[in-house]
Structure 1
Amino acid sequence: MALVKLSRFSLMAGALILVGTVQPIQAATLTVPFELARHVTKNNGKENCADNPPAPVVSLNLSSIYEDDDDSHSTIDPQHKDRYDKAVAQTRQFAAFVTRQASNYTGTDGNRLDAASCALKALDLWARADALSDLKTRQSYLSTTRILAGAALAYIQVRPAAALLKFDTGTIEKWLSGLADRTIPIYTESGDRTSNKQNHRYWGGLAVTAVGVAIGRKDYLDFGFESYKLGVCQVTADGALPLELMRKKKARDYHLHATGPLVMMASLLQANGYDALSECDNGLKRLAHFALDSINDPSRIETLAGEPQVKLPRDKNGLIRPDRIAWLDAYLHYYPEDRKLYGKLFDGALFSSNFGGRISVLYNVSERD
C-alpha cells in the first residue's frame, strides 16, 4: 500500500537559527513528523502571558479506579474514581493549559507568540519545581505518562519560539529528561507484569519517545520502538489486542485507548528512520481498523471479549467524543485512503492534551488560521 511521503521538519536538540523556518546549526538532529509553525518571525509581537498556569504538583499518590476484586479492571468503583480524579485534577489542568497554548501557537502558524510564551513559562514553572518527581505508587507513574507525552509534544511545538523570546529552555529539557529516565525502569525492572505489555506500556513508550524527539535523545526512541513492537506484534489477524480483550465489557474502550499512543509513536518513529508502519505485517493498520470499526458496530469485539460493551461517550451530534479518537488525524496522514470511511467519525478539529493538543492542526496545515 502506498504511503504519503513525509516532508521532514527537524527540531534541534541544541541551538536554533530562526529565519522564517527552523535551520539546524548542529549535526545531530531528530525529525518532527509534522510541520511546525511556518511563520515564526511573523508574529503578533506579544511576549507576555495573560493566563496563569496551574501551580506545580510535585507528589502524587494514585491508586486504581476499579473495584478491588475485579480482575478484568472493567468495573469502576465510584469512590476510587472520585479520589483519583481529585488527586490528578491539577495535573490534568496543567496538561490542558500547556497543550492548549501550544495549539494556539501552531494553529496560527506562529502568529500567537504570546501563546508560545504561555506554554514555555508553564513548562519552566513546573520544571523548576521538579514537578511529578515524587510519585508514591506504580499507578502514579502509569498515569502520568500521558501528562509527560502531552507536555513533550507541546514543547516540540513551541520550541522554535524560544529563541525569539530569548527563553532559556535548559531547565525544561532537564526536567523532561528526568521524567523519561524515571519512566523507563517502571516497565523494564518490574518483572513480567501485564501492564508492561499492554496499553500502559504503549503510553510509557510514547512519553519517552516524545521526550526523545523534543530534546534529541535517540536512545529514548530505541525504548519507544521496543514498546511499540510489544504492541503491534500482539495484534491478531482480526486486528485485536489480546490483553485489551481481557478488559471484558471495556475492551472496545481500551482498544481505542491503546491505539492512540501506538499511532503517535509510529509517527514519531517513522520520521526518524524506524520502519514502524510496516512492523509485524502492518499490525498498526489492522488494529486501527478493528478499533475504529467497533465504535458503531461492536459485534466483533463483543464476540471476542465475551461481553456486551459499555457505551462510549458521545457528543450531541451522536458522534464519539473527539478526545477518544484524537489520534485519527495522525493516522489518516499516513493512510489517506481510509479518510472516506473513518472521516465520518468526526466533524471538527480533534484535540487531546495527551497528544499535544489539536492533532488536526499538526497534521493538516489547511486547518490552521
Structure 2
Amino acid sequence: MMLALSSLPAAAEEAKDKDECFAPVTPVVSLDYGSRYTDDSVTRSDFDEKANAEVDKALGPVDDFITDLVRESNRALTRKADRATQSADCVLNHLAQWAGAGALGDLQTEAVQISIPSRLSGLAFAYGNALPLASQDAQRKALIEAWFKAQALATMAYFDEKAPPRASANNLRAWAGLAVTRIGLLLQDDAMLSWGEQSFRTVLCDANPDGSLPREMERGPLALHYQIHALGPLVITAALLEQDRQAGLFTACDAALSRGVDFMLAALAEPQRAAQHAGVEQSFSAPQPETLQGHDVAWAAAYLRFADNPELAELAKTFDPLGNSKYGGSQKLLWQQNLPKE
C-alpha cells in the first residue's frame, strides 16, 4: 500500500479547516500478518486476494497515521510563526504518544518485519520536517529519538541477520536503508549513516549494464513495477547523503543509479525491455495494464535536484505536485522550492 497525500483520513480532514491538530490515534504496538502472495509464487508476484486484503487492513491504521503526520508536517513547513509551531507540536505530540507506548515494538512475522521499514521512513520524515519548528521540549525530544534509535537498530539487526536472502538485497533492503539513513541524520549517528549507504550499494551496485536490477527482474510480471519501487528509496537515500555529506552516490558503481532510472524510462515506453529479463509480459503491458501513479515517481524531485534527466523531468510534470508520505510528503516542498508562508 503506497501512501499518497491525496488519501486524507477523516480526522485530518476535519482538523484542516478548524486549524486544529487531528485527534489522537491509538498506537499500534503489535502486528501479525503473513505474505501478500500465494504460497506457490516463486517470483513473489501472484497475489493472494484474501491475504492481501488482510495485510492492508492490518497496516491501515499505521498508514493513515503516517499520512496525517506527514501532511501536518508539511503544513508546518509552509506556515508562519505560531501557526507553524502549532502544526509542528501536533506532529511531535502524536509521535511522543506512539513512542511512549512502544509502538511497532512487537513485529511478529517475517512479512511484518520486511514491510515496516518503509513506514518507519515516513514517520522519521514527519519528525524531521517538524522538529526545527516545534516548541522546545527536551523530554519529548528524548522520548521520540530513543524510540527511533531502537527502531533503527532493530531494523539493522533484522536485515543483517534474519532477513531472507532476496529481501536482504532487494527493494525491501533499500527501504530499510532509507529508514535508517533518515533516522541516522536525525540522530547524527555515523554507524546508521554508513549502514544506509552500504544498503544502497548492496541493492544497486550489481545492476545490469542496461540499469535493470537483477533481483527485481526476478519478479515475473511485476519486474518493472518493483524496479520503480526500488528506485524510490535508493534515490532519496542518495539525495539525503549528498545533501548532508556529498557522499557521491549519484555517480557510484559506474553511475548505476542513473542507469537504473534510464532503464525505467525506457521500459515504461517499451515494457518488453523488462519482459526480456523477466521472461514474461509486464503488468504495464498486460490486457488491463498497470497505470503509473504520481507517488510511484515522487522521488523524481530529489533526483532532479542533483542530476539532470530531461525525460524524467517531463514525466514528473505530468504528476505535479509530486507527493509520497514515505518520503516526507510534498517533494517539491522538500527538494525543489521554498513556498510562501501562509
Coarse TM-score class (shorter-chain normalised): 0.7 to 0.9
More strand per residue: 1
Partner of 2:207: 235
Deviation at 1:167, TM superposition (A): 7.5
Match for residue 172 of structure 1?
144
Matched residue type, 2:90: C
1:199 paired with 2:180, answer no
Give the match for residue 282 of structure 2: 309
Q: Which residue of 1 aligns with 2:253?
A: 280
CA shift digits 1:282-314 (9 cap, x unpaired): 1111111112332333121122211111149xx
Give the aligned CA root-mean-square deviation in angstroms.
2.2
The answer as to 2:99 corresponding to 1:127 is: yes
The residue that corresponds to 1:183 in the other structure is 155
Q: Distance in 2 between matches of 1:245 and 1:116?
A: 41
Is 1:298 the counterpart of 2:271? The answer is yes
The separation in 2 between residues aligned to 1:122 and 1:112, in whole angstroms, is 16
The answer to whether structure 1 residue 213 and structure 2 residue 181 are counterparts is no
Task: Identify the residue that residue 87 of structure 1 maps to in structure 2.
Answer: 58
Give distance in 2, aligned partners of 1:192 and 1:254. 17
1:162/1:169 contact within 8 Å kept: no
Match of 2:84 in 1: 112
TM-score, with normalisation over the residues of structure 2?
0.87
Letter of the aligned partner of 1:293 in structure 2?
A
1:206-237: CA deviation from partner (whole Å, max 9, x where unpaired): 11111000122111001101101112201111
Q: Aligned AA for 1:334?
A: F
Question: What SS class does the counterpart of residue 168 from structure 1 fall into?
Answer: helix
Q: Which residue of 2 aligns with 1:63?
A: 34
**Counterpart residue type for residue 303 of structure 1:** Q
Could you say if the C-alpha distance between residues 258 and 191 of structure 1 is closer, same or farther in structure 2, counting changes exceeding 3 Å?
Answer: closer
Match of 2:333 in 1: 361
Q: Secondary structure at the match of 1:243?
A: coil
Aligned to 1:73: 44
Post-superposition shift, 1:73? 0.6
Distance in structure 1 (CA, Å) of the matches to 2:186 and 2:63: 21
- Which structure: greater helix fraction? 2
1:259 aligned to 2:231?
A: yes
Query: Given residue 299 of structure 1, which amino acid in structure 2 is its aligned partner?
Result: Q
Q: AA paired with 1:309?
A: Q
Aligned length: 317
Letter in 1 for 2:55: Y
Query: Which sections of structure 1, spanning at least 5 residues, go unmatched?
Result: 1-47, 313-317
Q: Answer yes or no: is the 8 Å Cα contact 2:224–2:264 preserved in 1.
A: yes
Task: Give yes or no for contact 2:36–2:55 (8 Å, CA) kept in 1.
Answer: yes
Matched residue, 1:15: none
For residues 340 and 199 of structure 1, what CA distance do their matches in structure 2 show?
23
Distance in structure 2 (CA, Å) of the matches to 1:229 and 1:58: 32
**Secondary structure, in 3 states, of the residue corresponding to 1:80?**
helix
Structure-2 residue corresponding to 1:7: none
Partner of 1:239: helix, strand, or coil?
coil
CA distance in 1, matches of 2:70, 2:338: 20
Cα drift, residue 107 of structure 1 = 3.5
How far apart, in 1, do the equivalents of 2:182 and 2:282 lie?
32
Alignment check: 8 A CA contact 1:123 1:172 kept: yes
Q: Partner of 2:70 in structure 1?
A: 99
In structure 2, distance between residues paired with 1:291 and 1:366: 29
Percent sequence identity is 30
Q: Which runs of 5+ in 2 are unaligned?
A: 1-18
Aligned partners of 1:119 and 1:178: how far apart in 2? 20
The Cα offsets for residues 13-40 of structure 1, whole Å up to 9 and x where unpaired, read as xxxxxxxxxxxxxxxxxxxxxxxxxxxx
Q: 1:238 to 1:224 in 2, by over 3 A?
A: same
> Quick one: distance in 1 between partners of 2:80 and 2:321?
16
Paired with 2:278 and 2:149, the residues of 1 have a C-alpha distance of: 38
Letter aligned with residue 140 of structure 2: D
